[in-house]
Structure 1
Amino acid sequence: MTRRIGLPLLAATLMSSFPVAAHAATRPAIFPAPAELTLGSGAMTLGRTVTLSAAPGTDPATVAVVEQILKDAGVATAQRSGRDTARIVIGRADAALVRRALAGITPDAQPEGYTLTVTPATNTIVLAGHDADGLFHAAQTLRQLVARAELPALTIRDHPAMPVRGTIEGFYGKPWTMTERARHLDFLATVKANTYVYSPKDDPYARDRWREAYPAATLAQLGTLAAVAARDHVDMVYAISPGPSICFSAPADLRALEDKFDALRAIGIHRFYVALDDIEYTKWNCDADRTAFGPSGAAAAGKAQAQLLNAVQAGLTRRDPKAPPLIMVPTEYYDAKETPYKAALRQYLDPKVVVQWTGTDVVPPAISIPDAKAATKAFGRKTLLWDNYPVNDYAQSAGRLLLAPYARREAGLSGELTGILSNPMNQEAPSRVAVTGVVAFAWNDRDYDPDRTQAFAARALAGDDDAATAALLTFFDTQHLAPTFGSQPWQEQAPRLHALLDRVRDALARGDAAARRAALADLTRAADDLANAPDTIRAGVADPSFAEQARPWLDATALWGRALQQAAAGLGAADAGSPAATRYFAAARALAAQAAAINSIPGATRIDGPIRIADGVLDRFVADAPGLIAAPAATE
C-alpha cells in the first residue's frame, strides 16, 4: 500500500533533502523606512515569556507601551531572567545598562533618534533612545517587528529627516469629535508623528468668538486631549484665528490672545499658533490700525501682522524661556511669488516665528526642491509645509474620499522644509491612509515608497488581516483621484481598475477568441472582488470607525461591483451568442443608477454630494459594455 504524506510531513521531507541555512534572516518591512537598517546573521524567537530590563530613569509610560506590545503579540514579561528566556533592554542610550547591552554599537545621536538591535547570539533585544521621544519611537518599531514569528538579527539606527511631522485639523465643516481626535493621536503615535494642531475652522472660540474664554466643560475636554497627546509623544498645538475681527494695534486684543493662551497652558498645552489665512487684507478692522500702519493694503497688512506676532512671541518667551516658537500661517499662504505682503512679513517678522506655506497653490499638484527654496527666499526662513491633502472640504472634492498614496513631493525636501503637516479630511479614520504617507515622507523622504506605504496603511487598518487588506486596497483604488483647485487632478482615478478595463477593451478589439475569454475571466474576478470588498472591509477592519465614516462609499462600491458583474456576464453571454446579454446589460444599468444616486452623509463633510466611485472609469465601462460585443437579438 502506498502511504499518503500530509503536507507538513511532505514539506519536512523535501526540506531534509536540501541544505537549509538555520534561521536565515530576511529584511523586515518597517514604516516609516528607517534611516539605516543592517541585517546580521541568524534570527531569534521571543517565546512565551521575556525578561524586560528598563534602565533607571526610563519613562514608565514607555515601559508600559512595550509591555502592551509584547502582550498583544502573546508574550508575557518578567523581571527576572529565566533559562533560555529572551531579554529586552530599554532606556536612554547614555544609561549604563543600555550601553553595556549595545556591546560597542554606536547609537543614533539625533533628536528623536533611536537604536534598536536584535542579537540572536545573546538572545537580546535593545531599544535605546537618544531622548524620551526616540525611545518611544523605538517601541513603535518593535511593534512592527514582533508581528513576525522570528526576529532577524539586525541593527537599526534611525531618526526623522524633518523635525515636525503630523496633522493640522484645519478643514472647514463639521470638526472631529474629541473621541475622534484621541483616536487620531493614538494613530499618530504608531507612525512616529510628533505634532497635532488643533485648528478646526468651525470652533467659534478659536475664530468668530476668539476673544471669549472657553466654557469650563470644553476646556476640560481640551485638557484631556492634551494628556492623550503627551502620552503619545505628540505635541498638541493650539491655533487661534483672530484675523476676521482683530485690531492689530490694540493692546486689548493682544491681551485677549495672551489670556487665551494662558488658559490653555494651564491645562497642558504649551505650543501656540496664530492663523491669518482666508482673511481680507484690503481693509482694516479698526481705525486705530489705519492710524498705526497707514492705508490698508498688502504691505501694511504684512507689517501689522508681524508687529502683533512679534509681541505674542515675546510674551511666550517671557512666560517660558524654553517655550517652542510661535507658528503662523500668513494671508498669502500659497505660492512663493514675491509680493509686497511677503516682503513686509520677511522684513519685520521675528526670525523665531515659524511660517507655514501650502506649496505652489492651495492644493499643489507637486512640490519640488526649487519650489521650497523659493518659499525660503520669499518668507526669509525655511517654511513648515501645510499640505492640503487629503482634505476634502472644497467643491472639487465633493463626494470623494481621498485615498491615493501621498506622492509627487520630491525626495530631498527635508533639506528645505522644517516639516510637513497634513490637512486631513472631515472623516478621521479614512484620513489615516494618506496621513501615513505624509508622516513617512517627512520621516525619511529619500527612501519613501508611496505604494508600499499605502499597503502598510491598509494592513494597519485591517489589523493585519490579509483579506481585509486586499479589500481595502481594492476600495482605495476607486478613491484614487486627487483634485486640485483647477480642472486637472494631480492623481488619476482608479489606475488599477482602469488598466484592467483597458486590457479587456483591447482583448475584445483584437478579435482573438482565447484572449477574449481570458480577459472576460479577469473582468469577472475583478468585478467579484469589487462587489465583495465592502462586506470584507466591514467585517475585517480593526477600527469600526473606518467603516462607519466610509459607509456611503462602501454602499456605492458594492452596487458598482454588482453592476460590473452584470456587465461582465452580459459580455460573456454576448460572446457566447446568447440573447440573455441584453438582460444582463439592463441589470448593470439599473445597478449603476442606484449607485450613482447614493449621497454623502448629510453634514459630515462641508459640501454634500453624490458619492463618486472610480468615476470616469467604472461608469464609462458599464455604459460602453453593450457596444463592445454585438449581442444577438432577444427572441419572443
Structure 2
Amino acid sequence: MGAALAAIALATLTPAAHASPATLPAIFPAPATMTLGDGTVTLGRAVTLIVAPGTEPETATLVRDLLTKAGVTDITTARRLPAALDRQTIVIGPDSAALVREALSRSNASREEAREGYTLTSLASGSGGLITLAGHDADGLFHAAQSFRQLLTRETIPALTIRDHPAMPIRGTIEGFYGKPWSMTDRTNHLDFLGRMKANTYVYSPKDDPFARDKWRDPYPAATLNALGTLAARARANHVDFVYAISPGPSICFSDPADEQALLRKFAALRGIGVHSFYVALDDIEYQKWNCEADKAAFGPSGAQAAGVAQSKLLNAVQADLLKQDPASRPLIMVPTEYYDAKESPYKAALRANLNPRIVVQWTGTDVVPPAISVPDAKAATKAFGRKTLLWDNYPVNDYASSAGRLLLAPYAKREAGLSSELTGILSNPMNQEAPSRVAVTGVLAFGWNDKGYDPTRTWHYAARELAGGEPNATAALLELFDAEHLAPTFGSQPWQDQAPRLKALLDHVREALANGDAEERRAALAELRAKADALAAAPDTIRAGVVDPGFAEQAAPWLEAMQLWGRALQQTATGLEAADRGHPATRYFADAKRIAAAAAAVPTIPGATRFGGPVKLADGVLDTFIAEAPGLIAVTARP
C-alpha cells in the first residue's frame, strides 16, 4: 500500500520535475536577511530597464553592463511599470523614488532604512518577472548592484527578497605594510575588488612612501600627486572612501606651528586632487623622548603621558582644520603609538582625557598580530581609549620575520561574532602581494559586513571562485594552494592558524592505514595519496593558464613553482610506497622524491617583493615531514 501511494505521489510531481527548483543563492558578504519566494526568473535575451530619478548614472551603467555580460542583448527602457509583467522588468533607484516604492509594493517587500542599505527583490510572474534594486542611499544602490552581479551567475534567479546593510560603518583595507609598496595598477585593481565586496574604505599608508613618512614635510612630485588623484577618482567610482595617511612621528615637533602648518599644507594638496579623508599615523615611533627641545618646554619631560598630551594637541588642531575646510568631512583617523593592546597606561589615559572625541582611534587587538579577538577584548579597548575603536587587523600582512617565505592564504577566522557592537569598523593590513591578499581580505570584508552571519570556510571558497572567474578546475587548484599556505604566524612561536590542515588529515590517514596493516585499507589510502599528489603537481599549471587573475599568478609565481615541485616529490613518494606495498624495490623512487623536495625547499621568493625574503615555505612541517618519513613506513621484503 505504501509503495502504491509513493508511486501516485511521484506521478503527481512528474510535470514539475522538469522545472529547475528555486534554491537559496549564496551571496557574499552574507546579507542581513534573504528569503525565498515562489518560482524563478529567467532573464533571457530581452529585458526592460527602468531607471528611477535620483539614480547615479554610473550605477545605471553598471547594471546595464552586468546584464550585457549575462547575455542580455536587448535592453529597452521605460519610465513606468507595466500594468502586466509580460516580460522581464528591472527597476533600479533610490527607495525614496515613488517608482521604486511602487515596485517594492508589487513585490510585497519593504525598504531598508539603514545607511548603505538596500533591498533587492525578484518576483516571478508567468512569462515575465520583476526585479527591483532599491538603495537607501547611493552607496546602498551600488551594493545592491554587487549582489545582483552574483545572482546573474546563475541560470535562473529565484524569487527572493534581500534586505541588507553593513554591521560595521567602516570596512576595508589599509596599505600599511613595510617593504615594497603596491604599484598603482595593484591599487586600481584592489579598489575595484573593494567595490565588488561592498567595502567602503581604503587607507593609503605605505610605510616606504618617503613623502608620507621620512619626507612628510615635502610636497609630492606632480606626477605622483596626479597618480594619487586618479586613484581617489577610482575609489569614488567604487563607492570607496580614499583616506590619505601621513606618518610624521619620527621627526615632528608637536609644539612647532611650522610643523603643524606643514601637515595641513600636505592635506590641502591632497584635497586639491579630490581626497577628503585623512589619517595621522603615530605607530612604530619612539615616544619616550622628544624630537625637539621646544616640546620639552611645552609639555614637560618626555614620557608616555606627555606624548599622549602632545599628540592630542596636534590631532585636535588637525581635526578642527578639517571641519573648517569642509563641515561635511569625515572624522580624522589616527593610530596611536600604543596600538597593540587594551591595557591601561599613562599614554592611553592622556589620549582618553585630551583627544577630541570625534577622532577615530585604531587598535590592532590584543597583540600586533593577535591569535584571536573577542568581544570582551574590544570592550576593554573601548574603555582604554574612551571610544569604540577601529580595528587594524594585521592579517594577512607578511612583512615581519616569522612570515618570511609565506603567502598567508588561510581564511579569516577566530574573530568573535558580535564585534560589530564594540567596533566602529575593521581594516585589514594586506600583504605586499595584492592579488593573493584578496583571499584573506575577502573574509575580513565579509566579517565587517555581517559578523554574525559570517562563515569562514564558505567565504574562503568564494574567494577561490572569484579569483578563478568561476571556473571549477581553477577553483579546485586554488584551494589546493590555499591549504598548502594555510599557516598564519604571530610574533610569538606558535601560529594562530595551522599549516595545511586538509593535506595533513590525508597524510595522517595514510600513516594510520599503513600502520593498521590491512591490505585493502592500505591500497585505498595509497590511491588517495596518489590523487592528492597529482592534484598538487597539476594545480600550478591550472592556475597559470589564465583563468585566474593574471596578477595572482605573477605575484604567487615562486609559490606555484615550489608547489609543482612538492607535488612531483609526493608523486614519487606515492610511487615508492605503492611499489613497497607490492614487495617491489622502492629506493630509487624515494631518492628521487628527496632530490625534488630539496629543490622545492630552495625556491626563493621574489627579491625585494617583501621585507623579509628567503626560501618559499609551502606546507612546511607537513609535506616535507611526510616525504622524509615515507621510506620507513613500509619495509620492503623481496618476494620469490
TM-score normalised according to structure 1 size: 0.96
- Residue of structure 2 equivalent to 1:591: 596
Residue correspondence of structure 1 range 505-520 to structure 2 within 5 A: 505-520=511-526
In the alignment, the residues of structure 1 paired with residue 548 and residue 572 of structure 2 have an alpha-carbon distance, to the nearest angstrom, of 32
Residues 192-231 of structure 1 aligned to structure 2 (within 5 Å)? 192-231=198-237
Matched, 1:367 2:367: no
Corresponding residue for 1:314?
Answer: 320
Q: Please tell me whether the aligned partners of residues 91 and 135 of structure 1 are also in contact (alpha carbons under 8 angstroms).
A: yes
Aligned to 1:3: none
Task: Look up the match of 1:613.
Answer: 618
Q: How does 1:479-518 map to 2 (within 5 A)?
A: 479-518=485-524
Q: Paired residue for 1:118? A: 122
Q: In the alignment, what sits opposite 1:65?
A: 62
State whether residues 468 and 540 of structure 1, in contact with CA within 8 Å, keep that contact through their aligned partners in structure 2: no
Give the secondary-structure state (helix, strand or coil) at the position aligned to 2:17.
Answer: coil
1:613-635 Cα deviation digits (max 9, x unpaired): 10000000000000000124799
Q: Which residue of 1 aligns with 2:244?
A: 238
1:44-83 equivalences under 5 Å are 44-80=41-77
Which of 10, 20, 25 in structure 2 is aligned with 1:28? 25
One of 518, 534, 540 as aligned partner of 1:534: 540
- SS at 1:39 equivalent: strand
- Write the distance in 2 (CA, Å) between the matches of 1:80 and 1:361: 55
SS state at 1:595 partner: helix
Paired with 1:613 and 1:297, the residues of 2 have a C-alpha distance of 44
CA deviation string 1:156-193 (max 9, x = no partner): 00000000000000000000001110000001111111
* Structure 1 residue aligned with 2:463: 457
Structure 1 residue 426 corresponds to structure 2 residue 426: no
User: Which residue pairs with 1:95 in the alignment?
Assistant: 97
Q: Which amino acid aligns with 2:73?
A: A
Which of 419, 422, 442 is the matching residue for 1:416?
422
Q: Contact conserved, 2:120 with 2:163, CA < 8 A, in 1?
A: yes
Partner of residue 39 from structure 1, selected from 36, 39, 42: 36
Deviation digits for residues 577-627 of structure 1 (CA, Å, limit 9, x no counterpart): 001x11100000000001001010000111101101100000000000000
Partner AA of 2:99 in structure 1: L
| Structure 1 residue 408, shift from structure 2 partner | 0.0
Matched residue, 2:88: 86
Name the aligned partner's letter for residue 379 of structure 2.
K
Contact 2:583 2:638 in 1 (8 A): no
Q: Secondary structure at the match of 2:134?
A: strand
1 CA distance for matches of 2:547 and 2:468? 4
Q: Which residue of 2 aligns with 1:6?
A: none
Give CA-to-partner distance per residue, 1:197-245, whole Å, 9 cap, x none. Answer: 0000000000000000000000000000001000000000000000000
Matched AA of 1:70 = L
- 1:57 & 1:75 partners in 2: Cα distance? 25
- Report the Cα offset of residue 70 of structure 1: 1.1
Whether 1:627 and 2:624 are equivalent positions in the alignment is no
C-alpha distance in 1 between matches for 2:70 and 2:233: 27
For the 8 Å contact 1:70–1:77, the answer to whether it is kept is no
Amino acid in the other structure paired with 1:211? R
1:542 positional shift: 3.2
Following superposition of structure 1 onto structure 2, how do residues 297-336 of structure 1 map, counting pairs within 5 Å?
297-336=303-342
Identity of aligned residues (%): 71
Equivalent position to 1:379, from 374, 385, 393 = 385
Partner residue, 1:160:
166
Distance 2:200 2:147 in 1: 15
> Using the alignment, how far apart are the partners of 2:377 and 2:547 within structure 1?
39
Q: Is the 8 A contact 2:37 2:160 kept in 1?
A: yes
Q: Determine the structure 2 residue equivalent to 1:106.
A: 110
Amino acid at match of 1:480: H
Structure 2, unmatched stretches of 5+, are 1-9
What is the CA deviation profile of residues 484-503 of structure 1, one whole-angstrom value per residue up to 9, with x for unaligned ones? Answer: 00000000000000000000
Instruction: Give the aligned partner of residue 8 of structure 1.
Output: none
In structure 2, distance between residues paired with 1:408 and 1:56: 44
Once the two structures are TM-superposed, the CA of residue 85 in structure 1 deviates from its matched residue by 2.8
CA distance in 1, matches of 2:191, 2:301: 44
SS at match of 1:126: strand
Query: Partner of 1:141 in structure 2?
Result: 147
Q: Structure 1 residue 80: deviation in Å? A: 3.8
**Greater mean alpha carbon deviation, residues 306-315 or residues 68-77:** 68-77
Q: What residue identity is the alignment partner of 1:192?
A: K
The equivalent position to 2:452 in structure 1, one of 441, 446, 455, is 446
Cα deviation, 1:541-597, whole Å, max 9, x if unaligned, reads 331010000000000000000000000000000000001x11100000000001001
**Partner letter of residue 31 of structure 2?**
P
Cα distance in 2 between the residues matched to 1:147 and 1:540 = 20
Displacement after TM superposition at 1:322 (Å): 1.0
- 2: distance between equivalents of 1:15 and 1:488? 60
CA distance in 2, matches of 1:257, 1:502: 58
1:67 and 1:77 in contact (8 A); partners too: no
Q: Which residue is equivalent to 2:265?
A: 259
The aligned counterpart of 2:343 is 337
Letter in 1 for 2:634: I
- Structure 1 distance, partners of 2:261, 2:344, is 33
- 1:43 and 1:553 mapped to 2: Cα distance? 43
Query: 1:582, 1:631 within 8 Å by CA — same for their partners in 2?
Result: no
Aligned residue for 1:533, secondary structure, equals helix
Conserved 8 A contact 1:48-1:76: yes
2:172 counterpart SS class? strand
Alignment correspondent of 1:276: 282
Match in the other structure for 1:127 = 133
Output the CA distance in 1 between the equivalents of 2:274 and 2:16.
Answer: 60
What amino acid sits opposite 1:417 in the alignment?
A: L
Structure 1 residue 79 displacement after superposition: 2.9
The one-letter code sitting in structure 1 at the alignment partner of 2:624 is D
Describe the SS at the equivalent of 2:427: strand
Return the alpha-carbon distance in structure 2 between the equivalents of residues 15 and 22 of structure 1: 14
Distance 2:199 2:13 in 1: 46
Shift of 1:15: 11
Q: CA deviation at 1:50?
A: 1.2
Structure 1 distance, partners of 2:209, 2:202, is 16
Q: Which amino acid aligns with 2:611?
A: R
Match in the other structure for 2:481 = 475
User: SS of the residue aligned with 1:79?
Assistant: strand
Q: Partners in 1 of 2:247 and 2:213 — Cα distance?
A: 5
Tell me the distance in 2 between the aligned counterparts of 1:413 and 1:282.
33
Aligned-residue Cα RMSD (Å) equals: 1.6
8 A contact 2:474–2:548 mirrored in 1: no
Distance 1:22 1:555 in 2: 46
8 Å contact from structure 1 (residues 346, 380) kept in 2 = yes
Counterpart contact for 1:465–1:540, Cα < 8 Å:
no
SS at match of 1:572: helix
8 Å CA contact 1:24–1:41 kept in 2: the answer is no
Shift of 1:106: 1.5
What residue identity is the alignment partner of 2:213?
A: R
